[in-house]
């Protein structure tokens, strides 16, 4: 399994699919409170993900569902799928033990009713994978990544 340490959290914005231009238009990022999340760590991870987009896919983990009965969707590198699944399961059982509070366990067990649970998007910025719930959030994330891919291909 991956070494889990830097888990960025965020919340999906209320946005129409036609208005999605990338992850920043789709996700409102939570302030994580540590320098490790600053200084380009997120863009570096995102660049690695988008640059290798053909090697990534969404994986549904049927045993983990939120209060709306939406299944956990893990966006990870195909070759790392087994480790990423173990990592997602670990994150779903433990909010602590990372650089900052993760909140996935509380999101699942407290149905989002916790003053510290402010997100529904999780991003391991060292191991380059995302966690979302449900078809709609998966679809919106795919749109955002495709928009970024198109933009970056034009620029390079």
pLDDT of residue 114: 59
Three-state secondary structure call for residue 18? helix
Q: Judge if pTM exceeds 0.75.
A: yes
Q: What burial class does residue 155 get, using C-beta atoms within 10 Å of its C-beta: 0-12 exposed, 13-18 middle, 19+ buried?
A: exposed
Instruction: In whole angstroms, give the CA distance from residue 129 to residue 75.
Output: 5
pLDDT of residue 18: 96
Collect the ranges in the chain with pLDDT lower than 70: 1, 111-117, 156
Domain ranges of the chain: 9-155
């Amino acid at each position: 399994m991956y070494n889990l340490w830097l888990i960025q959290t965020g919340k999906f914005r209320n946005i129409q699919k036609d208005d999605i231009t990338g992850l920043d238009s789709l996700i409102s990022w939570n302030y994580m409170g540590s320098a490790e999340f600053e200084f380009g760590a997120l863009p570096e991870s995102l660049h690695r993900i988008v640059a290798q987009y053909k090697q990534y896919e969404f994986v549904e983990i049927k045993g983990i569902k939120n209060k709306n009965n939406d299944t956990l969707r893990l966006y990870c590198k195909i070759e790392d799928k087994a480790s990423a699944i173990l990592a997602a399961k670990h994150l779903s059982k433990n909010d602590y033990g990372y650089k900052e509070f993760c909140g996935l366990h509380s999101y699942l067990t407290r149905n989002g009713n916790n003053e510290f649970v402010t997100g529904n998007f999780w991003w391991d910025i060292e191991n380059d994978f995302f966690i979302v719930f449900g078809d709609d959030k998966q679809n919106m994330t795919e749109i955002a990544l495709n928009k970024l891919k198109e933009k970056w291909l034009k620029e390079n």
